Amino acid sequence: MSPVVAVANQKGGVGKTTTTHSLGEAMAEQGRRVLLVDLDPQACLSYAAGLDPESLPASLHDVLIGRDSAHNVVVTAGRCSILPASIDLAGSEIALATKVGREHALGRALADIRAEFDIVLIDCPPSLGILTINGLTAADAVVIPLQCETLSHRGVGQLLETIADVRAYAKPDLAVLGAIPTMFDSRSRHPREIAADVAARYGLRVFEPAVPRSIRFAEAPASGASILDHAPKSRGAEAYRELARQITEALAP
């Protein structure tokens, strides 16, 4: 069964979508069949992958509420396949709120198509609501994008508390692979100190190399491409290629 990895951090603007997209494209470039899951109603991953969320005939929302199957909704985007999002996904939380076993809705949806892929990456929304709980419950492991600033550091502790709850009530074997430093400014001592403190305080692996801050990441979504295609020889692209290799190794049985 292909591993499912949730890319999660309830703090917004830390690089979750960029990390999900870039890791997925890097893993596909390395020969793997990759499924991306856009679990965020803002649909940034879908847009970054070159889709128009407003014109999609169906989205993950239709899957979660039982209107359609994941197999029918998956589309190809770049080297990857994607279960896209739309603004309708915001209504999924309301629809799921009264359902028994609501935290397992995404896991049930993915069960039908996991065998078609080598790895599934879930872009979780910047919250700790029902959608993120679904992402964590469906996952085998979690990767935490970490902007090495004080507020992002604080969010890691809150996310780990939520992961502990998910382990207690829904997914006892959910693993935390580690944190990926994003938007990293190597010229400053502060980001290095934050990364070291996260590793020491929470016992987390902090992956290296850190992903450098670069305008190339902001430019890439406008062309519907990942950093690997927009700036294939950039330090950011090379960082994600190496991180993809390390994460794949960490997931190996």
Share of the chain above pLDDT 90, in %: 66
Share of the chain above pLDDT 70, in %: 98
State the maximum Cα–Cα separation within the chain, in Å, rounded to a whole number. Answer: 51
The three-state (H, E, C) secondary structure of 184-247, written as one string: ECCCCHHHHHHHHHHHHHHCCCECCCCCECCHHHHHHHHHCCCHHHHCCCCHHHHHHHHHHHHH
Domain ranges of the chain: 4-251
The CA distance from 94 to 102, in Å, is: 11
Q: List the one residue out of 166, 139, 160, 132 whose CA is nearest residue 41.
A: 132
DSSP state letter for 144 = E
DSSP string, 21-88: HHHHHHHHHTT--EEEEE--TT-HHHHHTT--GGG-S--HHHHHTTSS-HHHH-EEETTEEEE---TT
Q: List the one residue out of 134, 130, 54, 128 whose CA is nearest residue 88.
A: 54
| Whether residue 225 has pLDDT greater than 90 | no
Between 8 and 152, the higher pLDDT residue: 8
pTM of the full structure: 0.95
**Predicted pLDDT of residue 110:** 97
Q: What top-level class would CATH report for the domain 4-251?
A: alpha beta
**Predicted pLDDT of residue 143:** 98
Between 131 and 188, the higher pLDDT residue: 131
pLDDT in tens, 131-143: 999 999 999 999 9
CB 76 within 8 A of CB 26: no
